Chains A and B, each alone.
Chain A
């Protein structure tokens, strides 16, 4: 018997209309754990290195984490993997919600889509019965609307549905996959789903998920629950409120947005408004949130309340979490009322809440600066908010200028030319980032921005405080119950870290310490993404209930795979390195490992070089950012060495072969 996982994947060929239930190899679980890890292995094995994201050869994998569906609190994530139309690299966005556990209860670990359907379809997985059904009546429907329509049509209110909206159908490069409570938004997964002609996947399952050592596993889960209670009652002191507790940042709960609105930048990631927040705004925004927020809600099997149902007056209800609360507001220099209204439309269209507002602000900046002209925006209303709605409508329909903007700021700037590239300034690896522009280089964040394969800073950070505490006493108090550290040395790093002077940023933490810190933070995210654990209870907050010391026990007792810290660290390193290899094979090299252009004002080229040199070596990569033969061999990835040698990857002097053409064909 398989424990934790079901041991079966569902393979669906949309071109042939075939569905197969395929048993998986338990040795792969031991090596790559599950979720992200096994997704990466499948992507490496099956998709040709040069496949266009919109080719039938590309596959779209919906992978549940190894422990999804077990009693482990907060373990509910679906890891969606494919090649991204925007970055051309591996995209692995994730969503919480209820979909992954339901898939497990239906008897599958993953759904793997390949080929393309000639007509729009949806997939209905009801335990052993799997159907590819016509979805022509759902064409153009909103993503949230679709969830309801499918549940009604199937007469199965308990079905969990993941769907795309109009943006996905029209292959917008930053289209999301929406699941009601959650979405997989980053990297344009919705566009690949739309390209495959799949509107939605509905799942209902009524089978058991087994664990290997029941009483032990139950005890571990109970300890986690007790610690969550403790942490809820004892927030971390010395950090701002959104970093003090567990869960993803509690944006649906908090009213005080002074920190975000004054430290993050407005418009096209441009303007910092230092004295923005005042009593009047605080009151108006609190009223907006209070009047539209129906309830704080969670994902499957989790006591947190990181999301909310939002009902703007006169509009259908949608669900929101985290920072999309402010991205539209700040891109448009508007207020929260506008932000929460337009997010309703954007959610139905199914677009990423980070990229979309930034692309629209970028377009308007080009207009203001004469690079685009009024002729490019025929019929656009004159009022500020109206212009954002107008642009959103054009983008998701790929109409006029919207067709260019639908590819994101990087590709749009290339297509527009005339110096537009300078305005696409807030991307890494062609993907729009959080609007943050800071003064002094932060060496930890520098490494994370440069080398993170997730191409999304919030998906790499956590664990180590973002800034030093002012006094030694406060630091000592912080490290006292910091048992989550993998090694005692991290406590010392933090104790010695000062706001000013010799032991302050950017030269402290030292280059070597930065490598340790970044590696630890990243490793925890990678473990979460294989197990299906929400980062909000693990890798993202300080002092989380899941950590490197109890995870091996969870895997042993849950999945029946004997695990200790060393073995787990090595497994995480294995699939983390494999993902780098996947991207290297698609052309990623050192030259691409860069932060957003103007992220910091004060830069330190020598230090930055040393940071990357040292970190690459630390990771077992060569100076072109390619995993070395020794590193790959040590991880049992000899098949990667062979492939690299066949392709001459070690000899190309760091040039790679990045695809510099957009997938979207020229306008017909």
Chain B
């Protein structure tokens, strides 16, 4: 076990019941991240997206997360309190299957940075602009293990060694690297 270390974890609590669907969060996010700051706004550039369908009473603010180079298999439907959501509705990824969380002109992925920009904001702008408190900002201290997590590649290789034995894997890696050098 590694050493324990304290860290501030920032998160936004989303209370969809309090959302009035106004999209001020999208608007102000795009304005804050414009260059120069606040010089323009365009909800399509926002790092928060409100999935909004008033007739079906669907209000779901989602934040932009990691970039995903490929689509996933997620095409399932969720029915929650009689309301149907697509699996994608909840997803934070900027992925090839949709135009959400991408710069509309370049297609480059967008990611929420909690407005940790210059000057640093006390709270993310979307939270400040949401007077109905559908979005509230929270900070909590968490103890995290100092120990580095194994990389994904290491996890994968270990799985292969488990299955085929160390010798076989090493032979294969050597052969592939030789072939790559030759090409």
Q: Chain A residues in contact with chain B, CB under 8 A?
A: 69-71, 73, 98, 105, 144, 148, 157, 180-181, 205-211, 214-215, 217-218, 225, 228-229, 232, 294-305, 309, 316-317, 319
Contact = CB atoms under 8 A, between A and B. Distances in A.
B20 A181 contact: no
Nearest to A211: B39
B36 A214 contact: yes
B9 to A, nearest CB: 28
Contacts of A317: 54-57
Give the secondary structure class of A's interface. loop
Interface stretch (B22-30, B141-149, B157-165): B22-30
Contacts of A209: 40-42
A206 B36 contact: no
Contacts of B43: 105
Contacts of A302: 22, 24
B20 A298 contact: yes
A301 B46 CA distance: 14
14 contacts: A98-B23, A105-B42, A181-B54, A211-B40, A214-B34, A214-B36, A225-B131, A299-B22, A300-B27, A303-B130, A305-B20, A309-B57, A317-B54, A319-B54
B77 interface: no
Interface in B52-105: 53-57, 59, 104
A380 B122 CA distance: 65
Given A208-B34, A218-B31, A303-B22, A157 B53 contact: yes
A546 B102 CA distance: 35
B129 A225 contact: yes
Contact of A229 (B22, B44, B131): B131
B81 to A, nearest CB: 11
Nearest to B25: A301
B20 A207 contact: no
A529 to B, nearest CB: 21
A105 B27 CA distance: 11
A336 B101 CA distance: 44
Interface residues of B, number: 30
Interface of B: 20-24, 27-28, 31, 34, 36-45, 53-57, 59, 104, 129-132
A309 B55 contact: yes
A632 B132 CA distance: 47
A551 to B, nearest CB: 19
Given A206-B104, A300-B23, A303-B20, A211 B55 contact: no
Given A105-B43, A303-B131, A217 B38 contact: yes
Chain B CB within 10 A, most for which of A70, A98, A297: A297
Contacts of A319: 54
Contacts of B36: 214
Nearest to A148: B55
A53 B55 CA distance: 34
Nearest to A215: B38
A69 B41 contact: yes
A214 B32 CA distance: 10
A208 B41 contact: yes
B24 A301 contact: yes
Contact of A301 (B23, B42, B57): B23
A144 B41 CA distance: 29
Nearest to B59: A295
A69 B23 CA distance: 11
B54 A297 contact: yes
Given A297-B20, A303-B20, 14 more contacts: A105-B44, A206-B42, A206-B44, A207-B104, A208-B42, A209-B41, A214-B38, A214-B39, A218-B31, A225-B131, A229-B131, A300-B27, A301-B22, A317-B54
Given A71-B28, A209-B42, A302-B24, A294 B129 contact: no
B38 A218 contact: yes
Contacts of B104: 206-207
A157 to B, nearest CB: 7
A606 B36 CA distance: 61
Nearest to A204: B44
Contacts of A303: 20, 22, 24, 130-132
Given A303-B131, A317-B55, A210 B40 contact: yes
B54 A180 contact: yes
B37 A215 contact: yes
A71 B23 CA distance: 11
A303 B28 CA distance: 13
A148 B53 CA distance: 10
Contacts of A297: 20-21, 54
Contact of A70 (B23, B41, B59, B132): B41
Contacts of B21: 297-298
